[in-house]
Amino acid sequence: MLALGFEGDLPNFRVDLARLDDTADFVAGVIRENYPSLQVPLHARWRHFVFTGRDLWADAARKANFADAEARARAEFDLAIVSVLLDAGAGPDWRYKDAETGLTLGRSEGLALASLRMFEAGLFSDNPRAPLRADARRLAALTVEDLTRGFTVTAANPMAGLEGRALLLSRLGRAILDSGKAFAQHDKPRPGGLFDILVASADTTLAAPSILHEVLVRLNPIWPDRLTLGGVPLGDTWRHRAIKRNDASNGMVPLHKLSQWLTYSLIEPLQRAGVSVTEIDGLTGLAEYRNGGLFVDAGLIALRETARAEGSYTVDSELVVEWRALTVALLDRLAPLVRERLGVAASDFPLGALLEGGTWAAGRKLASELRPEGGPPYKIVSDGTAF
């Protein structure tokens, strides 16, 4: 997709690589501002549970007094999987008011905090005496009404894609029940059973692409009916006429944003349980609107027809597919330039750190300067299951 952009052969966007150096300067500056020590964690769900220096999940985990590191890891897998799947854009009008902290938050932070509070309250558990878990049977029975209450959605506080989120968690529960033995090696069937699946396939070392492989294969049945290949649902994979191949994948663009962000978010629980995770740069950047918005707002990519910026687009539209693919490719071009400016090596500063310290935050910063609500540069009609 990027090569076609260089040639000027894309139907929707132009690519101006001359803006890459200025973008790298800007992102490097944001990283230095946010992380002066340059010790940047991965772009994972755990970052969104920290508010004003207080790590709410760490507080809850300490109080839980888990039996061992493996029990904590299963709970963290439960939380990460459920919370990430609930994270697809909420829209500009939704807010979550947290009674304990007094915070009122929207977008990813609000979704994270709300999902954590639902988890702590035992919404996803089928054992009232053990709230900090998610059980497949309970997830399979989850309703839109359950999430409406959990996210405090009302006519005055609307959320985009609520039905899609409920369907995704319900399908997650059913998929785990259908694979019960695999996900129930040390407990009842639960998302946290993926921890045991991964550990069983590893010694003490696990490559990040292997984690992604298991996420894609094991959670494949949860995705709504979209493209299939050989009877296999392809999840966050879309068509674009410019992509030509001489096989059955002709025209297909795989992105897997939620699956890859989930993979980033499973790395730390594995590490805490004593598993060394390698090849973190074997994952791609994330095709979502903060990273993509950065490249639009910085002038690296621009619509051929500027009037189209006023439209609304579904996630399967060629404009969105093209934008997201360019985002992934440009993140790979940006990463070495930012590392050079920071004086850090790729081994010490993986792509996941660039996403957390720089591009996601830089995208949000530019958006807040350019648009009143700080939203994406284009209006995306979300079903709550893509990004």
Specify the pLDDT at position 316. 94
Q: Note the pTM of the prediction, 2 decimals.
A: 0.93
Specify the pLDDT at position 387. 65
State the Cα–Cα distance between residues 257 and 298, nearest whole angstrom: 22
Q: What is the 3-state secondary structure (H, E, C) of 111-173?
A: HHHHHHHHHHCCCCCCCCCCCCCCCHHHHHCCCHHHHHHHCCCECCECCCCHHHHHHHHHHHH
Return the axis-axis angle of helices 69-85 and 107-120, rounded to nearest 10°.
Answer: 130
Backbone angles phi, psi at 154, to 5 degrees: -140, 180
Locus of tokens 């405090």: 152
State the Cα–Cα distance between residues 202 and 104, nearest whole angstrom: 41
Could you tell me if 316 and 238 are in contact, meaning their C-beta atoms sit under 8 angstroms apart?
yes
C-alpha 62: how far from chain center: 26
Q: Where are the domains of the chain?
A: 1-42+286-387, 44-283
SS3 label, residue 96: strand
Specify the pLDDT at position 180. 79
State the Cα–Cα distance between residues 79 and 82, nearest whole angstrom: 5
Residue of 15, 165, 2 whose CA lies nearest to 87? 165
Specify the pLDDT at position 253. 97
Return the axis-axis angle of helices 257-272 and 208-218, rounded to nearest 10°.
Answer: 120
State the Cα–Cα distance between residues 158 and 334, nearest whole angstrom: 36
State the Cα–Cα distance between residues 133 and 376, nearest whole angstrom: 34
State the Cα–Cα distance between residues 25 and 73, nearest whole angstrom: 38
Could you tell me if 339 and 345 are in contact, meaning their C-beta atoms sit under 8 angstroms apart?
yes
CA distances from 255 to 166, 240, 242, 319 (A): 22, 12, 16, 14
Instruction: List average pLDDT for each run of 10 residues in the chain, which is 387 residues long.
Output: 96 97 98 96 95 93 94 98 88 92 92 97 95 97 97 94 91 94 95 96 90 94 85 92 95 95 97 95 94 97 95 95 98 98 96 96 95 89 71
